């Protein structure tokens, strides 16, 4: 008996077989789907999610290119939407004992990875999910049918790249792979052939839809939040339809969230100093230095000029400055 899942899996496998495929980091391949490159297991999970997952109007999806501040965004949004259940400052707040990735799961890494079709029936509304895939690749209903909200976080591509460079060798799957040089990774980042790339297309796709549907997609940058954290915590709460009340303002709840989710606070919690995420990243590697401009310490001036030029060429026609 071939159940529905098995037939579905065959469809997914045939689709993957038919896609353009390029070697990546020597050990892997990237497949091009819907304009973006994916490693095989992420792609399989994205396709499975697209097939099985149904958005509810109250769902919230956090979308990002890897290393753009996802961990931080997960912590902030989780804390904002759960602040009635888990008041800021309470001793049993889940963020004190869980890595943010254990509180908000990625579709393609956690939920639909390993050929799983998860049972999500016990999740409280609003359900929080995350993805590094282009949110719009997850199906038409994300954009057109459901009322779910998307928050996208981007980051300066030079800092994103440098963060990736430090992080990749720490992933269990990559640990076993041949080491890759900075130049090789840089070339793959700039050419766009890397997991979830091209970076610039990923950012632009979400930027455009945030302009067309501002009530649906909120577009943020890591740099904006670093510079004005209180302001953006408030903006996020307003966007999600749960603004801070006058009483909360008086009790400085916004600033409590900023402090609770700060790099300094999260990185010193035991839950973030030990253990690994489901995809095998050591929790402490998710908190490296958390500053703007660290790329200047690693990239040559040629590299900086190259990324700046690509960014200028890709973003300026759309009025996007990062
Ligand atoms: P650096 O490597 O530049 O330090 P992601 O969560 O998408 O993987 O992004 C990781 C980047 O976000 C890392 O950047 C990490 O240090 C930074 N980061 C993690 N938690 C943060 C926080 N609470 N505040 C600011 N930056 C944070």
* CA 99–ligand 1 middle distance (angstroms): 13
Write down the pLDDT at residue 136.
83
Q: How far does the centroid of ligand 1 lie from the alpha carbon of residue 65, in Å?
A: 12
168 by Cβ neighbours in 10 Å (0-12 / 13-18 / 19+) ranks as buried
pLDDT at 47 over 80: yes
State the distance from the centre of ligand 1 to the C-alpha of 71, rounded, in angstroms: 6
Which pLDDT score is estimated for 78? 98
187 phi/psi in degrees, rounded to 5: -60, -40
Is 52 marked active-site? no
In the chain, the largest separation of any two C-alpha atoms, in whole Å, equals 62
Distance CA 57, CA 164 (A): 33
Q: Is 224 in the pocket of ligand 1 (CB under 6 A)?
A: no
Q: What sign results for the dihedral spanned by CA atoms 217, 67, 290, 97?
A: positive
Mean pLDDT on 11-26: 93
Cα–Cα distance measured from residue 257 to residue 197, given in angstroms and rounded to the nearest whole number: 32
pLDDT-based confidence at residue 277 (cuts at 50, 70, 90):
confident
Could you tell me which of 72, 80, 78 has the C-alpha nearest to residue 154? 72
Residue located nearest, by CA, to atom 19 of ligand 1: 287
Q: Find out whether the beta carbon of 290 lies less than 6 Å from any atom of ligand 1.
A: yes
Residue 208 above 60 pLDDT? Answer: yes
Which residues have C-beta within 8 Å of that of residue 309, sequence separation ≥ 6? none
Decide if pLDDT at 229 tops 90.
yes
Judge if the beta carbon of residue 131 lies within 6 A of ligand 1: no
| Token output for 146 | 């459901």
- Average pLDDT on 99-111 reads 96
Q: Considering only CA atoms, which of 131, 132, 100 is closest in space to residue 262?
A: 100
How would you classify the pairing of strands 60-64 and 149-154?
A: parallel
Q: What is the mean pLDDT of residues 218-239?
A: 98
Closest to 8 in 3D by CA, of 43, 47, 54, 40: 47
Q: Is the CB of 292 under 6 A from ligand 1?
A: no
The pLDDT score that the predictor gives to residue 247 is 97
Cβ of 315 closer than 6 Å to ligand 1, yes or no, is no
Task: Give the nearest ligand 1 atom to 261 CA.
Answer: 23
Average of per-residue pLDDT across 147-159: 97
Q: Report d(CA 69, CA 223) in Å as an integer.
A: 10
Q: Rounded distance, CA 281 to CA 170, Å?
A: 6
**Which residue's C-alpha comes closest to atom 8 of ligand 1?**
67
Checking if the pLDDT of 2 tops 50, the result is no
Binding site membership of 99 for ligand 1 (Cβ less than 6 Å) = no
Does residue 255 surpass a pLDDT of 50? yes
Contact 159 CB / ligand 1 (< 6 Å) = yes
From residue 211, alpha-carbon distances to 1, 7, 38, 69, 221 in Å are 48, 39, 26, 21, 15
Q: Which residue has the CA at smallest separation from atom 20 of ligand 1?
A: 72
Burial 106-116 (b: 16+ CB within 10 A, else e): bbbbbbbbeee
Q: What is the pLDDT, as a whole number, of residue 99?
A: 97
* 157 Cβ inside 6 Å of ligand 1: no
249: pLDDT strictly greater than 90: yes
Q: What is the pLDDT of residue 174?
A: 61
Where is pLDDT greater, at 173 or 36?
36
Q: Residue whose CA is closest, atom 12 of ligand 1?
A: 69
> What is the mean predicted confidence (pLDDT) over 254-272?
98
> Which protein residue has the closest C-alpha to ligand 1 atom 5?
67
Residues in the chain, total: 322
- Top-confidence residue, 277 or 88: 88
pLDDT at residue 177 in the model: 56
Handedness of CA 126, 97, 101, 251 (dihedral sign): positive
How high does pLDDT run on average in the chain? 93
Closest CA to 77 of 145, 152, 187, 140: 152
pLDDT at 100: 98
Q: What value does the mean pLDDT take over residues 231-259? A: 98
What strands lie across the sheet with 36-39, from one edge to the other?
21-24, 28-33, 36-39
Question: Which member of 132, 202, 206, 283 is catalytic?
Answer: 132
What is the model's pLDDT at position 1? 30
pLDDT of residue 239: 98
Between CA 275 and CA 284 the distance in angstroms is 8
Is the model's pLDDT at 6 over the cut of 70? Answer: no
């Amino acid at each position: 008996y071939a159940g529905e899942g098995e037939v579905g899996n065959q469809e997914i496998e045939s689709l993957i077989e038919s896609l353009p495929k390029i070697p990546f980091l020597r050990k892997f391949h990237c497949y091009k789907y819907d304009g973006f490159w994916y490693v095989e297991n992420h792609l399989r999970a994205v396709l499975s999610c697209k097939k099985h997952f149904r958005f509810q109007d109250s769902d919230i999806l956090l979308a990002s290119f890897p290393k753009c501040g996802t961990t931080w965004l997960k912590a902030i949004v989780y804390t904002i939407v759960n602040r009635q259940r888990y008041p800021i400052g309470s001793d049993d707040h889940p963020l004190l004992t869980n890595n943010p990735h254990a509180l908000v799961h990625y579709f393609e890494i956690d939920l639909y990875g390993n050929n799983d079709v998860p049972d999500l029936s016990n999740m409280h509304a609003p359900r929080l999910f995350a993805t590094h895939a282009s949110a719009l690749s997850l199906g038409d209903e994300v954009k057109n049918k459901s009322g779910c909200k998307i928050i996208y976080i981007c980051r300066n591509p030079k800092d994103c790249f440098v963060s990736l460079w430090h992080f990749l060798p720490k992933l269990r799957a990559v640990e076993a792979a041949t080491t890759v040089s900075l130049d090789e990774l840089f070339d793959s980042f700039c050419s766009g052939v890397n997991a979830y790339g091209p970076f610039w297309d990923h950012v632009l796709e979400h930027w455009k839809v945030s302009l067309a549907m501002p009530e649906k997609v909120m577009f943020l940058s890591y740099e904006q939040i670093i510079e004005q954290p209180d302001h953006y915590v408030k903006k996020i709460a307003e966007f999600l339809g749960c603004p801070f009340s006058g009483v909360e303002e008086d009790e400085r709840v916004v600033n409590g969230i900023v402090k609770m989710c700060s790099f300094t606070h999260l990185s010193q919690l035991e839950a973030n100093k030990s253990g690994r995420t489901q995809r095998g990243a050591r929790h402490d590697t998710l908190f490296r230095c958390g500053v703007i401009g660290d790329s200047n310490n690693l990239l040559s001036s040629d590299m900086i000029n190259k990324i700046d030029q690509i960014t200028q060429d890709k973003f300026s026609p759309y009025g996007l400055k990062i």
